[in-house]
Amino acid sequence: EPEVTQTPSHQVTQMGQEVILRCVPISNHLYFYWYRQILGQKVEFLVSFYNNEISEKSEIFDDQFSVERPDGSNFTLKIRSTKLEDSAMYFCASRDFGTGGNEQFFGPGTRLTVL
Amino acid sequence: AQSVTQPDIHITVSEGASLELRCNYSYGATPYLFWYVQSPGQGLQLLLKYFSGDTLVQGIKGFEAEFKRSQSSFNLRKPSVHWSDAAEYFCAVGGAGNNRKLIWGLGTSLAVNP
């Protein structure tokens, strides 16, 4: 069964460093998402991506964040200069195109720890 | 404002007992409603969804949920819980637009006693 994969599973970085979180969505899906979950808090929407551009972003997704689909299979989230408060679990999701309540398929997440 | 409330942070049930996890939502448009489950070290797996039609929806692993528009609720139920059901359960709401970002509840952690 196709699945969304994410690497690495755990990333530890120093404050101020750049990190890139990688995701491989399901191959025929067209919509891509990043969410994050700070420990003990709700899962929060960060950004959605369709047709090689951002379709919506939350207020969390400031200039320090960027997304890219560099090669037609990977979908990356870059944080340019990490802060302590960026420590969280980051989930990637993808969705097929179509009407109806199409579900988002989630990866296992990347736990980012900023020291 | 759009929001999802899961009033129960943690629930413990005995194996074989029935289960109901509560979810209330606030959403301006017609909602799509979802329940996801997360086991330790795993991703978020869809249990079931409601889009339209029959307000009682069946999902995987013997779960069901009932959409009650008048109560803005989408409670998850299972008649007989198995030890393997111990996990974190998340209720989420999304819209019908192209973006369909999900708004999440805080989650309910389910423990199952043998």
Instruction: Say if strands B64-68 and B73-78 run parallel, antiparallel, or are unpaired.
Output: antiparallel
Amino acid at A36: R
Contact A11, A112 (CB under 8 A): yes
Residue A60: pLDDT over 90 = yes
pLDDT, chain A, mean = 92
Cα separation, B6 vs B15, in Å, equals 22
Kindly report, residue by residue over B52-68, the tens digit of the pLDDT: 889 999 999 999 999 99
The encoded tokens of residue A61 equal 């997704």
pLDDT, chain B, mean = 92
CB interface of A with B, residues 28-67, below 8 Å: 31, 33, 35, 41-45, 48, 50, 55-56, 58
B43 to A91: CB separation less than 8 angstroms, yes or no: yes
Contact B59, B35 (CB under 8 A): yes
Q: According to the model, what pLDDT value does residue B57 have?
A: 96
What SS3 class is residue B71?
helix
Residue B42: pLDDT over 90 = no
The encoded tokens of residue B108 equal 């309910």
CA distance B19 to chain A (A): 22
Q: Name the residue of chain B whose CA is nearest to A50's CA.
A: B99
CA distance B97 to chain A (A): 9
Contacts of B6 in chain A (CB under 8 A): none
How many residue pairs bridge chain A and chain B with CB atoms within 8 Å of each other?
Answer: 61
Cα separation, B64 vs B55, in Å, equals 10
Radius of gyration (C-alpha) of chain B in whole angstroms: 14
Dihedral of CA B72/B88/A7/A112: which sign? positive
Residue B3: pLDDT over 70 = yes
Cα separation, B92 vs B48, in Å, equals 11
Q: According to the model, what pLDDT value does residue B31 have?
A: 87
CA distance B52 to chain A (A): 9
Residue B98: pLDDT over 70 = no
Residue B51's region, left for phi above 0, alpha for psi from -120 to 50, else beta, is alpha
Instruction: Say if strands A75-79 and B10-14 run parallel, antiparallel, or are unpaired.
Output: unpaired
Residue A97: pLDDT over 80 = no
